[in-house]
């Protein structure tokens, strides 16, 4: 029995959910998202979405909770939005953004310029004496996570000094250095 799949989703004010030909469309003040649904039936009554699986086979049981979580993330994304913050830890590490271009200096001989998807808003904060922070925000949770993972993969934090690109609040496992 899926605990996640059985829990209902309440639709907040300002969001509309429509189902047509196994495609769920969620519209809100921040945007519109669509998701194709298979092996699960959707019931919308009185501002509450309930998902029921068509059979009790193992793949259907797995998709029950998955689609409930995806639809919940879509509803939350078009009403509140999602943000990820990345911190650049290291001497000389800088970040600048001009529109959808993110210019990163991460200790390489050249600067890295990334073109960010138009659905994601990019903002850089660089205060004196603090590490630069890159803020990514969008209504699509998957896209924000993918862009953040791409930026982090350019210079992952290393375990000895902690230099690199890390998520704000991420706890790194640190290693002891050489002992003489």
Same domain for 93 and 157, yes or no, is yes
Same domain for 17 and 37, yes or no, is yes
Straight-line distance from the first to the last Cα atom of the chain, in angstroms, rounded to the nearest whole number: 57
Can you give the pLDDT at residue 163? 94
Can you give the pLDDT at residue 2? 62
Same domain for 38 and 49, yes or no, is yes
Same domain for 55 and 132, yes or no, is no
pLDDT, one tens digit for every residue, the chain (180 residues): 568 888 999 999 989 999 998 899 999 999 999 999 988 999 999 989 999 988 888 888 888 999 999 999 999 999 999 999 999 999 999 999 999 999 999 999 999 999 999 999 999 999 999 999 999 999 999 999 999 999 999 999 999 999 999 999 999 999 998 887
**Final residue of a structural domain among 13, 48, 79:** 79
To the nearest 10 degrees (0 to 180), the angle between helices 58-79 and 141-153 is 90
Can you give the pLDDT at residue 154? 95
Contact by Cβ (8 Å): 39, 63 = yes
What is d(CA 88, CA 66) in angstroms, rounded to the nearest whole number? 33
Q: Is residue 54 part of a domain?
A: yes
Q: Is residue 43 part of a domain?
A: yes
What is the span of the domain harbouring residue 24?
A: 3-79
**Final residue of a structural domain among 45, 79, 113:** 79
Residue 45: half-sphere exposure toward Cβ, Cα within 13 Å: 5
Q: How far from the centroid of its chain's Cα atoms is residue 144's Cα?
A: 4
CB atoms within 10 A of CB 49: 20
Same domain for 47 and 89, yes or no, is no
Q: Is residue 120 part of a domain?
A: yes
Q: Which CATH number do you get for residue 29?
A: 3.90.930.12
């Amino acid at each position: 029995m899926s605990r996640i799949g059985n829990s209902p989703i309440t639709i907040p004010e300002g969001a509309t959910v429509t189902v047509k030909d196994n495609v769920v469309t969620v519209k809100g003040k921040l945007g519109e998202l669509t998701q194709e649904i298979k092996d699960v039936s959707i019931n919308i009554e009185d501002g509450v979405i309930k998902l029921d699986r068509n059979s009790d086979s193992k793949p259907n049981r797995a998709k029950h909770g998955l689609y409930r979580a995806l639809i919940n993330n879509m509803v939350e994304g078009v009403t509140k939005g999602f943000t990820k913050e990345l911190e650049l830890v290291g001497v000389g590490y800088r970040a600048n953004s001009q529109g959808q271009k993110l210019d990163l200096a991460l200790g390489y001989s050249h600067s890295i310029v990334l073109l960010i998807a138009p659905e994601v808003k990019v903002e850089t904060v660089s205060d004196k004496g603090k590490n630069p922070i890159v803020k990514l925000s969008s209504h699509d949770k998957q896209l924000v996570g993918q862009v953040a993972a791409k930026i982090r993969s350019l210079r992952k934090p290393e375990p000895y000094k902690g230099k690199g690109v890390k998520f704000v609040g991420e706890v790194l496992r640190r290693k002891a250095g050489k002992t003489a």
